[in-house]
Amino acid sequence: MNEKLLTMSGKQMAEMIRKGTLTSREAVEAHIERIQKVNPYINAVVKDRFEDARKEADAADRKVKSSKGKNLPPYHGVPCTIKEAYAFAGMPNTSGLMARKNIVAKEDATAVARLRKAGVIPLGVTNVPELCMWVETNNLIYGRTKNPYNTRRIAGGSSGGEGAIIGAGGSPFGLGSDIGGSIRMPSFFNGVFGHKPTGGLVAGTGHYPMAENDAARYCTYGILSRRPEDLMPLIKIIAGPDGKDMSCLPFKLKEPSDFSLKGSTVVYIESNGMFRPSADLRAAQRKCADLFEKKGARIREIRNPKLRYSFLIWSDMLSAASATPFGVMLGNGKMLNLPLEFLKWLFRASDHTIPAITLSFLEAVNKKAKGMVKKFVAMGHSLKEELVSEIGRNGLLLYPSYPTPAPLHNKPLMTPMHFAYTAILNIMEFPVTQVPLGLNEKGLPLGVQVAALHGNDHMTIAAAGELEKAFGGWVPPWNK
């Protein structure tokens, strides 16, 4: 195993490939070898394209020679992985739904096409929970994805396959999506970086399922990576309208170098008031605040009682904004018969996972409580106004990622609202970077969310870079 290659950023590899000190074939082979070694244990890559990737790498190397390393795309010859929920020509696009088991994409999703145009070489597609709507990655087509730091623990969802293979060293970065924490939870649990962009920054065309109406701004499409220096270049590559996703709006992104912690405000929230984070996560978050203060930021610790209702705000605002019920998506266009589906599940005859069936049931109950929905939608809007005022245009928010490090498999079924820590920031439409902060005593990744106001993606990514310098960032599992 070439450990040095397996710890590099994609940006670093691209520079070496252009200079001729590394071949694309070497980079691709090193990551294929790593995937073949770890995937039998973690089940992250559900369909590979290794032979095609090798051919593309050889073609990339010929292009380097013929061009003498000039006028090449920014990520020429660099390997990566793609979340299976994105259409990628010739690859499965089931999103973990049995009714889509035989679906193979005929063309690339917008984000996939833009990455490929930038020169990347995808090695395969990665696992998701059923219809991308649960905190643990498991479905009846591909099975369960496991955490590379401890296979008894979850990899998160819905970009769980991405988080696991990047955390395991099998890919330098990958494409994810996030409607309730689906980039950030896998990044957190697997000890890597992840960026959920500002709502409406990246077109979702070709992603299945695709959010509708206002919910299309709550669902964002972003990047998971082993190094933060890949986040902004890759976000810029995939950002911008495509003429198809009307929720995607143009606006100019700044560079991380445009932001300085000196003179900024950092709003510090230790808990949402409902689920207090574990002591190791609280200590890790406090270290971040202390570092930012040393660098000239003003730390303001606040509490907001509305955060206690984060799960209800998220679920009601998402439900109110969505045109198609989740139960209809599960039924592949026809509303699922929920009592029958529960019964079938009890006898192991259902085509659906219990988290998906339960979520559909809760949505149906919620739809009938129109007064409560209105109440929490209004609360969500007022919470956003308050947080925007507290954080300010030159401010950051430090916020927990989850109440605990990666839980054991199936445990989230007993604590289904714990993901409210990430979900509430989708409704706020804030850009958020998930930052790894080393490992705890059990060898599990620690981390924190860094958020900012609309359009300030560069600020959260800059903060992630500072935290990597101070605390080391991603810790390869072989260094545990």
395 in a structural domain: yes
Residue owning tokens 């330098």: 172
Q: How far apart are CA 299 and CA 289, in angstroms?
A: 7
363 in a structural domain: no
159 in a structural domain: yes
Q: Do the Cβ atoms of 304 and 267 come closer than 8 Å?
A: no
131 in a structural domain: yes
273 in a structural domain: yes
Mean pLDDT for all residues in the chain: 96
Range in 255-259, 321-325, 412-416, 465-469 the model is least confident about: 321-325
* Known active-site residue 158: yes
Opening angle at CA 434, ends 431 and 436, nearest 5: 160
Residue 439 has phi, psi (to 5 degrees) of -115, 150
Kindly tell me if the per-residue pLDDT of 345 is higher than 80.
yes
Domain that holds residue 146: 5-308+378-479
Reduced to 3 states (helix: H, G, I; strand: E, B; else coil), residue 248 is coil
- Tell me the CATH number at 108: 3.90.1300.10
Confidence at 365, pLDDT banded by 50, 70, 90: confident
* Known active-site residue 322: no
324 in a structural domain: no
Kindly tell me if the per-residue pLDDT of 1 is higher than 70.
no
Q: Do the Cβ atoms of 366 and 316 come closer than 8 Å?
A: yes
For residue range 155-196, what is the model confidence (pLDDT) as tens digits? 999 999 999 999 999 999 999 999 999 999 999 999 999 999
How many separate domains does the chain show?
1
Q: Do the Cβ atoms of 397 and 451 come closer than 8 Å?
A: yes
pLDDT, average across residues 124-142: 98
Reduced to 3 states (helix: H, G, I; strand: E, B; else coil), residue 277 is coil
pTM (predicted TM-score): 0.97
412 in a structural domain: yes
Q: Which is catalytic among the residues 95, 171, 182, 401?
A: 182
Q: Which is catalytic among the residues 158, 247, 315, 322?
A: 158
* Known active-site residue 264: no
Q: 323: which 2 tokens? A: 């045109």
116 in a structural domain: yes
Q: Which is catalytic among the residues 83, 146, 306, 384?
A: 83
